[in-house]
Structure 1
Amino acid sequence: WKISSAWSSHTVNDLDWTCTCNFYSSTNLPCKHIMLIAQNGQRFDFLPPSVVHQRW
């Protein structure tokens, strides 16, 4: 999935739940882009546990 705004563009992979944004890259925590795709793209009520990196 490609997420774009006036300031930036990021790619979310909904198979392995990764994002190209700085927040996700530095923390491995679900970012707002992942949450957007989970809610609007996949129609999830909750984030799947696989979204949270094993480190956490």
Structure 2
Amino acid sequence: MTYTKEHRDKAADVFIRFGLSPADTIRELGYLSRTILYTWYRERLEEEPFCSIGI
């Protein structure tokens, strides 16, 4: 499956909201893996370095 930028941004936002908890984020969204989540989060930090705390 191909994910849109909106999917990636939503996952990063939920990840941040859940305090960087991959298990809670995956449970909430139900459509990604830890590897994909961390990749999208890092991409988000590169785009907006001050959007949240880093890992």
Higher strand share: 1
Higher helix share: 2
TM-score (norm 2): 0.32
Work out which structure has the larger RCO, using CA pairs closer than 8 Å and 6 or more positions apart in sequence.
2
Highest Rg: 1 or 2? 1
